[in-house]
Chains A and B, each alone.
Chain A
Amino acid sequence: MSFIEGTRFLLVFSLVSGALIFYMMTKVREGKYLPKIRPLNGLDAIEEAIGRATEMGRPVHFSPGIGGVTDQSAPQTMAAMEILSYTSDLVAQYGNEMVVSIRTPNLFPIAQEVTRQRFIAAGKPEMFKETTVQFFSSEQFAYSARCMGFITREKVAANIMIGAFWAESLLIAEAGASVGAIQVAGTANLHQIPFFVAACDYTLIGEELFAGGAYLSQDKMELGSIAAQDYLKIVSIGLVILGALAATFQYDFLHQLLAK
């Protein structure tokens, strides 16, 4: 057994991070510490958007983005599934119609299962139809064209876009804005955040997307991991400051450490 060159620091950092996350989760579960998450307006607005859509008799559109479940965007897609679970609960409670548009075939059965199970849990299995979760297209722009067509034709009143988005983000968001839908968006893809901020009513930026599941469920274990994230951020900031100082005084020990 040997370490792969250049990954030692990453492995140690990952192990320490993992240990810290578990420590905080245990602490929260035992009731020794109760973290507070600041209000996330975007997530709070989902209920308002669905309620409004129900009053208007118009459907809800949910897009989990175009990321996959096996690539680098997988955490964003899985975070989107957490919020889909919550959205499905609300849609079932309000008795409204929802369409989940899918681009990645691998995600299709997962989204179907999440939605179906939440409808069953809400006591309304009959609300789940063949059209609730729809595969639109695996082509990026064909997917966005179908989303735009659906949003415009059905005049959706709530458009929720949570997950990994690329160039299609503005196309879909502008279609939602044109029909007056309340729009809640969230992504960790840096270059798409300005588009969402410009076109949507509420935007979850970066890590807010990943905190969504814990925020909505208020599950103690998940809240603990969010608290650990804050400590990890402090460690990262410390490394950034140390790196800046080391670079200023021309010491390359940190650079060498990271390359180990």
Chain B
Amino acid sequence: MRREIPIAITFVVGLIMLLSNFIAIPMGSYSLAQLAQEMGTWVIIISAFAVGLATVNLVLIHGHNLFSAKTRINSLLLLISMFCFSLVGIIEFHMPDSTFWTGLNQNMYENVLSPLSAAMFALIAFYLGSAAYRVFRMRNVDATILLISCVVMMLGQAPIGALIWDKFPSIAGWAMSVPNNAGQRAIMMGAAIGGFAVSLRILFGIERSYLGTD
């Protein structure tokens, strides 16, 4: 029963969600679409419990780190930040008219979280350089083709490319819109069909590894 019940729930819920996209079935004063919408609300409720579980895991691991690990400063900072953000958020929720708490909450997001996220995002530019350096080494035929196409593409996109040879922008444009587009669409179609097959396998209980079983 430990396997059968989750598979049955998956089948029923999956079928309702799937059919609600195609067919409008009135069920008295209720409809299939409304039922699917209702299930979306259930997901939010389940998610709230999952967030609770995840938070307990986070606190346990970092609480343990405080007493034993080399990274105790990191863990301490994480726990303090988590506590402060939660506290300010809860107070703001209960005192929505208080400009102090609303402002503080907003400031914490805009002046702490957003700049930190932006800094992490900005790191991508530097990592692109190091990744490109490794890829552009001519180790074999494939890497050489990649190198040549990348150089042509860069010259086609940069203003200096047109100054060197006025055909670079049109070659780069053609490479982007014809072979690149064709390849991308092929991957997209394959992935969409693959995703559909995985969904069906899960829906009908053929694929059960998400339950931890074969």
Contact = CB atoms under 8 A, between A and B. Distances in A.
Interface string B172-199: 0000000000001001111101111111
B15 to A, nearest CB: 11
Nearest to B185: A240
A195 B124 CA distance: 10
Contacts of B200: 18, 21, 225
Nearest to B56: A135
Contact of A109 (B53, B74, B131, B199): B53
Given A105-B51, A198-B135, A2 B24 contact: yes
A167 B55 CA distance: 24
Interface string A191-206: 0010101110000011
Contact of A79 (B23, B50, B198): B198
A141 B199 contact: no
B47 A130 contact: no
Given A210-B191, A222-B201, A110 B210 contact: yes
B26 A78 contact: no
Interface in A100-129: 102, 105-106, 108-110, 113-118
25 contacts: A1-B23, A7-B22, A10-B22, A14-B196, A21-B200, A25-B206, A78-B202, A102-B54, A105-B51, A109-B50, A130-B61, A135-B57, A141-B121, A142-B117, A170-B128, A177-B130, A188-B187, A188-B194, A190-B191, A197-B135, A210-B194, A211-B194, A217-B209, A228-B197, A229-B194
Nearest to B125: A170
B209 A135 contact: no
B193 A207 contact: yes
Interface string A7-24: 110110010011001000
Given A198-B134, A205-B187, A233-B189, A1 B25 contact: yes
Given A167-B124, A207-B190, A11 B24 contact: no
A141 B116 contact: yes
Contacts of B135: 197-198
A190 B189 CA distance: 11
Nearest to A211: B194
B132 A198 contact: yes
Interface of A: 1-4, 7-8, 10-11, 14, 17-18, 21, 25, 70, 74-76, 78-79, 81-82, 85, 102, 105-106, 108-110, 113-118, 130-131, 133-135, 138-142, 144-145, 149, 153, 167, 170-171, 173-174, 177, 188, 190, 193, 195, 197-199, 205-207, 209-211, 213, 217, 219, 221-222, 225-226, 228-229, 232-233, 236
Contacts of A199: 127, 131, 134
Contact of B47 (A79, A106, A114): A106
B8 to A, nearest CB: 17
Interface residues of B, number: 60
Given A140-B117, A141-B117, A174-B131, A210 B198 contact: yes
B209 A114 contact: yes
Contacts of B210: 78, 81-82, 110, 114
A130 B47 CA distance: 20
Contact of B23 (A3, A144, A190): A3
B187 A141 contact: no
A232 B190 CA distance: 9
Given A113-B212, A177-B130, A198-B134, 6 more contacts: A81-B209, A141-B121, A167-B124, A188-B194, A209-B191, A210-B191
B27 to A, nearest CB: 10
Nearest to B40: A70
Contact of A171 (B116, B123, B212): B123
A170 B124 contact: yes
Interface in B109-136: 113, 116-117, 120-121, 123-124, 127-128, 130-132, 134-135
B90 interface: no
A55 B42 CA distance: 46
A108 B58 CA distance: 11
A75 B15 CA distance: 15
A116 B124 contact: no
